[in-house]
Structure 1
Amino acid sequence: MDDRYSRQTLFPHIGIEGQEKIRTKHVLMIGAGALGSGNAEILTRAGIGKLTIVDRDYVEASNLQRQQLYTEEDVEAKLPKAAAAAKRLQAINSEVQIHAVITDATPEKMEDLVEGVDVIIDATDNFETRMMINDISQKHQIPWIYGGCVGSFGMSLTVIPGKTPCLNCLLKTIPIQGMTCDTGGIIAPAVQMVISHQSAEVLKILVEDWDAVRTSFVSFDLWRNQYSSMKVSKAKDSGCLSCGENRTYPYLDSENMMKSTVLCGRDTVQIRPPHQHDIHLGDLSRQLKALGYSVKGNPYLLSIEMEEQRLVIFKDGRALIHGTKDLTQAKAIYQRLLG
């Protein structure tokens, strides 16, 4: 298939030389959901050298609306997303080395996975992991592409260590927290828009066209026909603990990670966020009820009935997940509903 990449090499900013660079590069994908599966397919079809996919979850029916690599057969088999993605991607392009890692992305795991990586793609569904990616990127001087979407809204940012502000620098100015797709829903076009922004940035980095790399924070709302691009170069903070002059990489510190504990003698896991923050229980209750959850509450807590678990959320962000002793599962449930 000598002409496999012919349309890509005809693009003057890639060409034959750029294609040769692409096929020698290693991309690390954290998350194999909506953003992960879309980015993975684009980059596999583009002919990258190696793709490592990290994901802790398995394929469910609700994924099929927007997670393009998966099928009903994957749902029936309850295949881990990383494994199902790798199988499909190898069928698309057998030349690409696909490495599926079925695990939770922790700081310890990330230290092992970043060796030899040229760029990291954020395809996660929670804030904690994104900030860990940000710190590991700064520590090892590896570019990464942030992406997020919910409802019809999406956003993306390219972080180049040593050149651009990092995500921690921008926390005070950019609204990157809020609803998740489990509480606010999501439409597939918003996913595809974020994927396009992310994968385009990755290709620029892989061919080393640094002048073309976007230096602004982009956000959009497809339903409201809004698009914005915010310059962020002045937001770089010399005092930032992730990328500043006296950096400490706070999000690689286990003390700043979400704490989960199996309660003795009970089929229950307690989740405690690293820093106390008040939750508006009334707003959360209305969001969850609108999604069909059975929610009861009082001024101090909410009790949410799920298919196999019951989640009790306290005003300070602490939660009890009843019906499981699996720390990873409990943590995923918490992040899915609270972000």
Structure 2
Amino acid sequence: MFERYSRQVLFPGIGEEGQTLLQNKHVLVIGAGALGTGNAEILVRSGVGKITIVDRDYVEWSNLQRQQLFTEKDAENHIPKAVSARERLEAINRDVTIEAHIADVTPAEMEQFVSGVDLIMDATDNFEIRMIINDAAQKYGIPWIYGSIVASYGISYTIVPGTSPCLHCLMEGIPIGGLTCDTGGVISPVVQIVVGHQTAEALKILTENWASLRRELISFDVWENEQSTVNVDKLQKVDCPSCGKEPIHPFLSQSQTKTEVLCGRNTVQIRPASKETRDLERVAANLSKLGKVEQNSFLLQFKANHNRMVMFKDGRVLIHGTNDATEAKSLYHKFFG
């Protein structure tokens, strides 16, 4: 039964009991970029019973340098990351159930995604979604593992509700600005190290080795040969609105911005005011009268002057070629109604 996991079962920290636990656990991975694909592959190879992947984007050429599971064909065809990741992961381990969702994580959707989940892996690229993850984890008592990378710098922190300070305790609100992979770049080795820290903690949680968890926040710079750990226990706040004595989980009650500038990408994302499913065939037929349209089963692309627009089935549109939200809204209403 455990032949494919024999080397993992030999490890005293897991053993047959731990392997059985893994096969009955469900992990939610938010984001299918560098950290998401790395985390998902290790967990699938480890024999976790079910993995749910949520990502809003599609594969681009710049992803291939560091985002494992994707190929040049995925980039050429603009395949959604969640879909491509699922296909590769199913080929790696057919015994693991893989669910893929092409979606932007809103508070309402997050509360749906966490149902029946044992662990949440943070593989996102913005703090708005991380704070939503944090509040959902606190509300439903689900451990989650924070991870972040930029340039040659990485950071990881394990959050167990009721035991450790939450992300809101550590940060007063959502950080604005700062370096991102799109503005400061990123090298692949830092991805692998953060993934290693995240998945090691994940295996401890999923096999219920709670005493082995790292309680410190760890950060490092692989280029400057620096590493540090910080004990954050004293940062826990009794009046924290997310995890304190009287939590209100503020980031689950706030509406996400409908128009979002994607930092460093010269792109604006626009979401419809209400959840909907768009008929891409019909939209493509209308747009084909105005310019060139490319389409696959998941999205369509349309070019108008210097702007490239990508629509997903859920009605989200990426307006490439501008950082101006007003201009993006104008183009959205002009072409997509």
Give the TM-score normalised by structure 1: 0.78
Amino acid across the alignment from 2:321: Q
Aligned-pair distance for 1:258? Answer: 2.6
* Letter aligned with residue 100 of structure 2: A
Question: Are 1:221 and 2:221 an aligned pair?
Answer: yes
Q: How far is the alpha carbon of 1:232 from its aligned partner?
A: 0.7
The one-character-per-residue Cα deviations of 1:130-164 (angstroms, maximum 9, x if unpaired) are 00000000000000000000000000110000000
Distance 1:311 1:133, change over 3 A: same
Deviation of 1:306 after TM superposition, in Å, equals 7.8
CA drift at 1:324: 4.5
CA distance in 2, matches of 1:245, 1:31: 31
Is this contact kept in 2: 1:269–1:324, CA < 8 A? no
Report the alpha carbon displacement of residue 242 of structure 1 after superposing the two structures with TM: 0.3
Return the alpha-carbon distance in structure 1 between the equivalents of residues 166 and 61 of structure 2: 35
Summarize the Cα distance change of 1:57–1:28 in structure 2 as closer, same or farther, 3 Å threshold.
Answer: same
Task: Report what 1:311 is aligned to.
Answer: 323
User: Does 64-73 or 245-254 show the bigger shift?
Assistant: 245-254
Shift in alpha-carbon separation, 1:324–1:147, aligned structure 2, 3 A: farther
Q: How does 1:100-119 map to 2 (within 5 A)?
A: 100-119=100-119
Q: What CA distance in whole angstroms lies between the structure 2 residues aligned with 1:80 and 1:91?
A: 17
Match of residue 124 from structure 1: 124
Structure 1 residue 76: Cα displacement: 1.5
Structure 1 unmatched runs, 5+: 262-267, 272-304, 313-317, 327-339
Q: Aligned equivalents of 1:200 and 1:118: distance in 2?
A: 15
> Which residues of structure 2 form unaligned runs of 5+?
261-266, 271-305, 309-319
In 2, distance between residues paired with 1:98 and 1:167? Answer: 28
Q: Measure how far apart 1:254 and its partner are.
A: 2.3
Q: CA RMSD in A?
A: 2.4
1:169 counterpart SS class:
helix
Are the counterparts in 1 of residues 127 and 174 from structure 2 also a CA contact under 8 Å? no
Deviation at 1:321, TM superposition (A): 3.6
| Correspondence 1:1-339 to 2 at 5 A | 2-171=2-171, 178-255=178-255, 257-260=256-259, 308-312=320-324, 321=328, 324-325=331-332
Distance in 1 separating the partners of 2:6 and 2:153: 34
SS of corresponding position for 2:169? coil
CA distance in 1, matches of 2:224, 2:173: 22
Deviations 1:79-128 (A, max 9, x none): 11000000000000000000001111111111111111000000001110
Aligned residues: 281
Which amino acid is 2:246 matched to?
N
Q: Distance in 2 between matches of 1:269 and 1:75?
A: 20
- Please give the alpha-carbon distance, in whole angstroms, between the structure 2 residues aligned to 1:128 and 1:198: 20
Q: In structure 2, how many angstroms separate the alpha carbons of the residues matched to 1:167 and 1:197?
A: 17
CA contact (8 A) 1:310 1:323 kept: no
Aligned counterparts of 2:170 and 2:184: Cα–Cα separation in 1: 24
On the 8 A contact 1:22/1:48 being kept in 2, the answer is: yes
Q: Conserved in 2, the CA contact under 8 Å of 1:54 and 1:82?
A: yes
Q: Distance in 2 between matches of 1:46 and 1:103?
A: 26
Q: 2:268–2:322: 8 Å Cα contact kept in structure 1?
A: no
What amino acid is the match of 1:310?
A: T
1:216-253 superposed Cα distances (whole Å, 9 cap, x missing partner): 10000000000000001111100100000111111112
- Cα distance in 1, alignment partners of residues 125 and 269 from structure 2: 20
Alpha-carbon contact 1:309-1:321 (below 8 Å) kept: no
Q: Distance in 1 between matches of 2:328 and 2:12?
A: 54
Residue 288 (structure 1) aligns with: none
CA positional deviation for 1:323 = 7.5
> Once the 2 structures are TM-superposed, how far is the Cα of residue 309 of structure 1 from its aligned partner?
1.8
Relative to the length of structure 2, the TM-score reads 0.78
Q: Is the 8 A contact 2:131 2:174 kept in 1?
A: no
1:236–1:2 Cα change, 3 Å: closer
